[in-house]
Structure formats: structure tokens, C-alpha cells
Chain A
Amino acid sequence: MPQRDIAIIGASETKIELRSGRTTYDLAGEAMAGALASAGLEKHEIDGLAVTSCFSDAGNPFFSPILAGYLGLQLDWCQTTDLGGAGATGSVARAAMAIRAGLCHTVLVLSADAQSSDNRGDIRGFRGEFQYPVGIMGPPGYFGLLSNRYDHQYGLDPRALAKLAVTQRDHALLNPLACDKLRKPLTEADYLASPMISHPIRMLDCVMVADGASACIVTTTERAKAIGVKRMAHPIGYGERVNHLEAENCPDITKVGQEVAGAKALAQAGMKIGDIKQFHPYDDFLIAIILQMEGLGFCKPGEGCKYVLEHDFHFNGDLPLNTGGGQISAGQAGLAGGAHNLTEALRQLFGEAGERQVKDRSNAMVTGIGWIPYGRNWGSSTVLVLEAG
């Protein structure tokens, strides 16, 4: 039986902007104020904070308490989640744990980053030693390696990637918070004509880094009901896998950690993949969506392109997908980007998604992806199943 003792009672996202010139703290303040208004909660009710790490304040070893200070928060539990784009979903799970452990009762789950305005990231370790001298073009280069291997094993159909690009763009056109630079119609021909970055990764396969913030509020279902919250979402299943297949020297790099994390999340939720009514996969690159569909069991390994071509992923289609535009068409707010997919799922579950509202809002699956290890698939994988309450 899934546990429904934890509830997410408010959600908020700022406008996603390119080179906004704003600070992480200002973006975070706007997201918190929005989440409090969405939940109908006073600030003093918050006694816990889980915040994702960010590029714009990287190098600050006291990030979460300093941020809490800017927001006027006195806390009984405070932490930074450094799982990259998996940080937002990971923070929801950590908040639920802290609440269940009795450390706190109401947690602000926050993600804010101004990477396109101020990037202070300095990722060391193997990158400076064995990656930068090779001249691989960062994440597009890694996803190029991954895509060519996938193509070799199964065949990669650019029409499937184009279809995902166009569907997500259609959604961004309906989302006023999506980055203005990306809110322009897109066709399959536009995708196919977009310039190569690192073959076969085209510009329109990739996210565009921007600035933005999202927040949600996690508390007990009992408390939510006591204060008269009308709509909520229960996190009923969660799985996490960091460094999937790390002990294997030569793993199949098309295999994703969501295979393991997804099975765990679905088992907790008492659900099968076919029960999922809307899917909000982390999307730094279009092929990441296809690999996750395969890893999670929407289709078999190697059948992702066929599955994409056979289904309609619009908000009114058979499996609504990244209905806010996803990061690829709404903009990636740095390491806060993973919270975009989460916040869109919450808006849908609350019935507050406006003209892109899905019909069946009973549940949603949200995933996270974070960081890229040396010559491998991505490093952090999360899967969160949410149920409307």
C-alpha cells in the first residue's frame, strides 16, 4: 500500500529568462513567495529547507544557511542537495524523510540558479585531468557518444527526436513562464536543419542554459488537511540511483539508472508503468527522453523511437509529456532546471495548468538526471511518482 502521509501543498516557478542579471537569492525569494501564496501558508510555518546546489553560488560552502538567512527562515532542518538536475526530485524525497523522522514538519523545497548570468562552477577531478585536454564539447559531446552507440545498437530515427522537439515547443507556446527566446513555433524541418554541435547532437537536441527558480512546500497530509488545503499531491513512490553500473569497466552506455530507480518508485506506489497518466522526464537532451522511456518500461530497449512515433505526447494526447515545454523548450535554469519538470507536474496535479491542463490529472511521473561521469551514461537518476489528493 502506498503511503499518503506526505503532501505537497503549493508550487511556484519564476519566469525563465536568459541572462536576467538577477541573483540566485532574488530568484529564490520570488519562488518562495509564490509557493507560500500557492499553499496559503505563512512563512513562519516553514521549519525545513532543502535546496538544490547551483552554478551561480557554487564555491559557497554555506549556501543553504545563507540562503535561509536571506529568506528570513529559522529552521530545524536545512540541507543542500547536490544531485544536479536530479536535485529537485531528490529534495522532495529528503524532505519527506526529514518530516517522517520528526526533524521538522513543513519543508520549503527550493531550486534557484542564475547560471546564464553568473556561472561560478569549477568542476574538478577527472575533468581537468582527462576530459578537457580531449576537447569533448561538454554534455553535447557526451550525448553524441551516447547517441552514436545507440544508433549502432538499435538505430536512431531523427524523426522521433524531431517529434519530441516539436511537441515540447508546442507546450512552451502555451506556457507564459517559458523563456521568451524559445517561445517560437518549431517544425520537424527546423529541427533537422539545426546546426551540428557534436555529431549527431544538433543545437535543437540541447537545452539552453538560462536563469530561474522553482519552489514547492512539503508537509504532512494531516497538517495540510488541518489548515484547509483544498488540493495536494502525494509523493507515493521514489527511487534514486547514483553512478549506475559504476563497478563495470565497460557497461552498455545506453542503460540508464532510471531502470532501477523507476522499478523501485513504481513498486512503492503499487503501480505499473502503464498506470502513469502523465510523464515529465528530465530533458537536457532529446535522446535522454527516449532512453528513459526504455529504461522505465514504457517500451522495450531499442524501441524508443518507434514508441515516440506511435504516440501523441501533447497535453491532450495519449501520454502527456513535459507539458510546460520541458527544459529544452522552456529553458534550463541551471541546476534548478530539474525543478521545472517537477513544478509543471504539480501544476497539472493541482488542476492549475491553464490552457494546457491535462484531462486525467490523477497521477504523474517526474524524473531527474544529474552530472555526467567519464565516458558513461549520466551519473544521477531519480524517479518520483506523484498522486493527486
Chain B
Amino acid sequence: MSERDPLEGLRPAPVKQDFSQPFWDGAAQGKFLLQYCPESGKYQFYPRPVSVQTGKRNLEWREVSGRGTVYSHTVTYRSPIPVKGIKPYIVALVELEEGVRVMANLIGCPVEAVKIGMAVKLAWVKAGEDNFPAFEPA
């Protein structure tokens, strides 16, 4: 737990799907990779075994900017992570410039300062031993 990130050191390790391994490999190198469907020209998140647009298995992995805006948010007062005395923290639904939404913690932001539409940028945190996407005010 830190002032900047109340969940620091507390996030459970992700249980990974086989087809999402490139995401985790990219994360380990500090690269935010998303699946891209070449036929529709659309990105998608979370990783899937097929394009959600076409159902085909011709997805590519592309590095994205990590820039976006807050689409919605909620301040968590009762956490499912079993720790006593945890500070309230922000879960945001962030809309990336590439046109997908990512659910993530907004860190380095007082809970009363979060606003829909605010600009945010990627900030890696740890979930277990893995790099995991979070965001901070841009």
C-alpha cells in the first residue's frame, strides 16, 4: 500500500488464458499490446481467441499509446481484496485513443479528483509478479 497506489503489493496474480500470452509478454517489457483485427480495422480488449468483429483467427498484436480518457469510475470503499484498513481507491473505465475500453485502477489521483472525461495515461503496476495496466492523470 502506498499513497500513490492503495493496492500496491495487494493485487492477485492474473489467471491467464493461453491466447493472451502475447499481452503478458508485452507487459513484461513495458509494452501495452492489444489485439487488432486487420479486416475491420478495430482493436479489442480483453484478449479473445477470435476477432469479435469477424469471428476469424487472423488477429495481430499491436502496441498502443496508453493514452485515453475516463469513461466512468467508481470509488471502492468495500474491497473484495481481503486486507484490513485499505484506503478507498478508484476503479475507472478508460477509453483508449484506439477505441477500446480498459477497466483499471486510477493511481496518483485523489478519490475526489476523478472526473469523467479527464485525460489519463498508462502506468504499470504489479499484479502478483506480472506487470498489470493502470492509469494516472495525464
> Could you list which residues of chain A lie within 8 angstroms of chain B, going by C-beta atoms?
124-126, 128-138, 140-141, 144-149, 152, 195-201, 246-247, 249-250, 253, 374-375
Instruction: Enumerate chain B residues within 8 angstroms of A253, measured Cβ to Cβ.
Output: 71-72, 93
Asked if A146 and B79 make an inter-chain contact with CB atoms under 8 angstroms apart, the answer reads: no
A135 touches B72 (CB 8 A): no
In the complex, the answer to whether B100 meets A250 with C-beta atoms within 8 Å is yes
Complex CA distance for A148 and B53, rounded to whole angstroms? 28
CB distance B12 to A250 under 8 Å?
A: no
Q: Give bound CA distance, A145 to B95, whole Å.
A: 13
Q: What are the residues of chain B within 8 A of A197 when measuring CB–CB?
A: 77-78
Do residues A198 and B77 form an inter-chain contact, with CB atoms below 8 A?
A: yes
Is there an interface contact between A129 and B77, defined as CB atoms closer than 8 Å? no
What residues on A are CB-neighbors of B7 within 8 Å? 135
Chain B 1-38: CB-based contact to A (< 8 A → 1; otherwise 0): 00000010011111111001000000000000000000
**How does the 8 Å CB contact mask read for B115-138 relative to A, with 1 for contact and 0 for none?**
010000000000110001000000
Pair A146/B72 contact, Cβ less than 8 Å: yes
The answer to whether B85 has its CB under 8 Å from any CB of chain A is: no
Size of interface on B: residues with Cβ below 8 Å to A: 42
Determine the residue in chain A with the shortest Cβ distance to B79: A135
Chain A minimum-CB-distance residue to B91: A136
Of all chain A residues, which has the CB nearest B11? A133
Determine if B103 and A134 form an interchain contact, defined as CB atoms under 8 angstroms apart. Answer: yes
Whether A250 pairs with B14 at a CB distance below 8 angstroms is: no
Contacts of A124 in B (CB 8 A): 15
Chain A nearest Cβ from B97, distance in angstroms: 11
Instruction: Report which of A125, A141, A200 forms a contact with B76, defined as CB distance below 8 A.
Output: A141
Question: Smallest distance from the beta carbon of B35 to chain A beta carbons, Å?
Answer: 11
A78 to chain B, nearest CB (A): 31
Give chain B interface residues in 32-46, CB to chain A under 8 Å: 42-44, 46
Closest residue of chain B to A131 (Cβ to Cβ) is: B103
Residue of chain B at shortest CB distance from A130: B46
Looking at the assembled complex, report how far the CB atom of B41 sits from the nearest CB atom of chain A, in whole angstroms. Answer: 11
Chain B residues with CB under 8 A of A146: 72
Task: Please determine whether B16 and A152 come into contact, CB atoms closer than 8 angstroms.
Answer: no
A201 CA / B72 CA spacing, docked (Å):
14
28 contacts between A and B (CB under 8 A): A125-B17, A126-B46, A128-B15, A129-B16, A130-B14, A131-B103, A132-B80, A133-B127, A133-B132, A135-B80, A135-B81, A135-B105, A137-B79, A138-B80, A140-B78, A141-B76, A141-B91, A148-B74, A195-B77, A196-B77, A198-B75, A198-B77, A200-B74, A201-B74, A246-B52, A249-B42, A250-B71, A253-B72
- Residue B52 contacts which of A125, A149, A247 (CB distance < 8 angstroms)? A247
What chain A residues lie within 8 Å of B128 (beta carbons)? 133
Which chain A positions have C-beta within 8 A of B75?
Answer: 144, 196, 198-199
Question: Which residues of chain B are near A130, meaning CB under 8 Å?
Answer: 14, 46, 103
- Tell me the complex Cα distance, A199–B105, Å: 14
Q: In the complex the two chains form, what is the Cα distance from A132 to B75 in whole Å?
A: 16
Q: Mark B72-112, 1 if CB is under 8 A from A, else 0.
A: 11111111110000000101010100011111110000000
* Residues in chain A near residue B102, CB distance under 8 A: 375
List of A residues within 8 angstroms of B127 by Cβ = 133
A62 to B75, CA, bound (A): 40
A375 to B68: give the CA distance in the assembly, Å: 15
Which 6 pairs between the two chains have the least Cβ-Cβ distance? A144-B74, A128-B15, A133-B127, A149-B72, A199-B75, A133-B11
Residues in B neighbouring A247, C-beta threshold 8 A:
52-53
Interfacial chain A residues near B79, Cβ < 8 Å: 135, 137
Looking at A128, A129, A138, A152, the one whose CB has the most chain B CB atoms below 10 A away is A129
